[in-house]
Amino acid sequence: MIILGIATYDSSPVGHWRPPEGQAAYTKTYQEAMELLPQPSQTLDISTSFGTVRMYKWETEKTQSATPIVLIPGRSAGVPMWSENLPELADKYPVYAMDVLGDAGMSIQTARIQNEADQAAWLHEALSSLSVARMHLMGHSFGGWAAANYATYHPEKIASLILLEPVLVFQKLRTEIVIKSIPAALPFLPKSWRENMLKDFGGAASIDHNDPVARMIAEGTEYYAQKLPGLPEQICPEQLRTWKMPVYVGLGANSVMHDSEKALAVARSHIKHIEAKNWKGGAHSLPMDFPHEINASIIAFIAANDSNTLR
């Protein structure tokens, strides 16, 4: 571990690109991936104490009176990861989607994020700027953890909480997953090692380089030096028991991140208002595995738990 610490040492307190050419390649792919999404009605760059958060908004005259959905992506993913989910969600609700501070994307970190309180603080500053009283907060993977962490600090803002394959919420990460993630922090290791890690995590046989979203995630992993506080603390059962909002939990039965059955048992044991499903055949890339089914399930869940919704 000492050798790993030396090899990965980076004095920068904030996330950054390595090298600049990597940022150019990523930006080009990101823009290509964004073309898979509907045209946003608004693009926002929101100033916070920790940096500038890139946020996109989709709203129409049809949806403007409904409670919005806010999307938080997984690590190295960015807003375009929602390309197969967002169109159907945005047909029913206003949708906001962001790139996470300290991670690959168009957000720009300017101050160190040191702990779970900081993670909730920058998110709260960004969301408070939207002048939205309450929202349906939805996150995938580490975005699921960020949503769960925020729910502990600011439950008053959340109409419902939607967690898709969240990590470190109901179980610790499997040891082999932590070990396999090391190549992402070592830029001098072969690119194929990082791609093998992404394939294992997502449950895919290969990386489809013709898919701009898959290529964007691979380039974000390769070229962006994350500056987040390592593996965050797992959400504890006491925190789960404080949640009063309705919670939707979707896990992939084939996820390599955790034992999904045990994770669901923890969720059901401690969350008061919960709808949970272990998706047969689903992997950690659950929102992309069954997008239409997942979308329909989430829309039905929100409609059942929010009177301010379109019928």
**Domain, as residue range, for 63:** 39-305
In this structure, is residue 14 part of a structural domain? no
Q: What is the CATH number of the domain that holds 203?
A: 3.40.50.1820
In this structure, is residue 95 part of a structural domain? yes
In this structure, is residue 28 part of a structural domain? no
In this structure, is residue 119 part of a structural domain? yes
- Is 137 in contact with 126 (CB distance < 8 Å)? no
| Beta-sheet strands, E only, within 209-272 | 224-225, 247-252
pLDDT of residue 197 exceeding 60: no
- Over residues 241-291, the pLDDT tens digits come to 999 999 999 999 998 888 999 999 999 999 999 999 999 999 998 999 999
Domain count, the chain: 1
- State the burial class of residue 176 (Cβ atoms within 10 Å of its Cβ: 0-12, 13-18, 19+): exposed
In this structure, is residue 22 part of a structural domain? no
For the chain, the maximum distance between any two Cα atoms, rounded to a whole number of angstroms, is: 58
pLDDT average, residue stretch 284-309: 89
For 291: left if phi > 0, alpha if psi spans -120 to 50, otherwise beta; the answer is: alpha
Average pLDDT, the chain: 87
Residue 139: in which H helix or E strand, if any? strand 135-140
In this structure, is residue 25 part of a structural domain? no
Task: State the Cα–Cα distance between residues 29 and 7, nearest whole angstrom.
Answer: 28
Question: What DSSP designation does 135 have?
Answer: E
In this structure, is residue 20 part of a structural domain? no
- Is 262 in contact with 56 (CB distance < 8 Å)? no
Closest-CA residue to 187 (of 218, 152, 223, 215): 223
- Over residues 57-102, the pLDDT tens digits come to 999 999 999 999 999 999 888 999 999 999 999 999 999 999 999 9
In this structure, is residue 166 part of a structural domain? yes
- Over residues 208-230, the pLDDT tens digits come to 668 899 889 888 888 898 877 77
